[in-house]
Structure 1
Amino acid sequence: MTPTPDHAAPSASVQDRVDAYWTARAPAYDDYQQRPERRELDRRAWAEVWGGALPPAPARVLDVGCGSGYVACLLADAGHDVVGVDSATGMVDRAREHAAAMAARTGRAPDFRVGDAVDPDLAPGSLDAVVGRYVLWTLRDAPAALAAWWRLLRPGGTLAMVDATWFPDGLAAAEGDAFRSAYDEQVAARMPLAAADAEQKAALVAAAGFVDVRSTRLETVWELDRTHGVAPGHTPTPQHLLTARRPLAG
């Protein structure tokens, strides 16, 4: 992985603190995603989301900020060759548990690695798609991440990100003492996308040189959240799928 330049050194401490929070949250976060009352409804909804965004299988796909592996496992189940990276070790541990169970059941599973979503350690031009769910808002350096993902994609490759305006009033207004402690003023200053809307995120992607940038509101996911509820401390919030591609030339 490319060494972090000296002028960006403070980001390491920011990332370490965020990773510690998500490592501690990993079991509860993963258990909530697997809750039985909407498991199959979620799987169908998200399979439709990603199926419409990605090239036909088998494609080489990177899931950045993969968390406990929900999206990566769904894509591998659809026939894609998937690598998932996350810098929170607790999340990767959970993802690997799911991968082991999936491999025993189907003979295929994602490859989960501890790694930096802002600077994934893969070969340039080796991917057909880079995907992420709920990662844009937490990037400590979004322009650097977009530049890195551009390099990893083959010409014509797809970028597909799902996110929402989770914190329209800023991270300081979020609920939960543990969250506010992890995402304090220093961390919040490095994560301006936490309060950004879909149009602002799309503009950032276009500024990075991607083309065919589109933002689509996920109505099926919105209805599921309104019907079944969302995680404690959250309210149902419209989510958007942001798609783009690296140009064939350039």
Structure 2
Amino acid sequence: MKEIIMKERNFSLRTVNVMRYVMPLREGGSLPALAEADDGFNYVLKFKGAGQREKALIAELIGGEVARLLGLKVPELVFANLDEAFGRSEGDEEIQDLLKGSQGLNLGLHFLSKAVTFDPGASSVDEELASKIVWLDAYITNVDRTYRNTNLLIWNRELWLIDHGASFLFHHSWENFEKHAKSPFSMIKDHVLLPMAGKLEKVDHEMKSKITPDKISAILDLVPDEWLMASRDVESPDEGRKVYEEFLLLRLENSSVFVKEAQDARKALI
């Protein structure tokens, strides 16, 4: 199997071949599915032919790997190859169209069997861990970790992060990313863990110390050229990576802005 190696880390992103479409996981624009791959494991498959197309996969990959870099638990991400013949026998026309539009390289997250969705009303999260997750989502501008859809799982008594495809809001317009990088990210007020995140200032220094230009570059090197070029927002894959890199570095330099926004939003809640 092909492996793409991340610089400066003993880490690789594997490529698997999708063998069987097991079942759709929920309704919605992204239409993720449970699928079986040729390595014998099941994956939650994110299709490039759905919703926000390749941009959702780019956000999923970068957001997930930044979270992992910060020491947070994220299921293994893999490139998932969909053969041209895959899905021809699928009876559901919508799913068949989705599979036809997703031939080639997609993204999969290792399926955490028997994991349960985090319920903020029934479970508590350590103050420091909650602060780290809120910091991450403010950093990557992830709008999708709310009470309505927590995108958090409890597996083996530990908290796991999933679904970062709604991050990096700037790349949907691809203009004035510098302004977005310096924004306070007001939508953090809806974050499911914000009431528990009482150590944002403390974790800010720790999180920033783990993110270096080389590590950001290594994560961006994982993004396939074809995904970066699919929307035709940039002239070359390297130009696309450069924009993401500058966004992430500039946002890191201005972390005090989004940390203060989160602290103020938390005060309003409690």
Task: Please report the TM-score for the alignment, with normalisation by the length of structure 1.
Answer: 0.26
Which structure: greater helix fraction? 1
Which structure: larger Rg?
2
Task: Please report the TM-score for the alignment, with normalisation by the length of structure 2.
Answer: 0.25
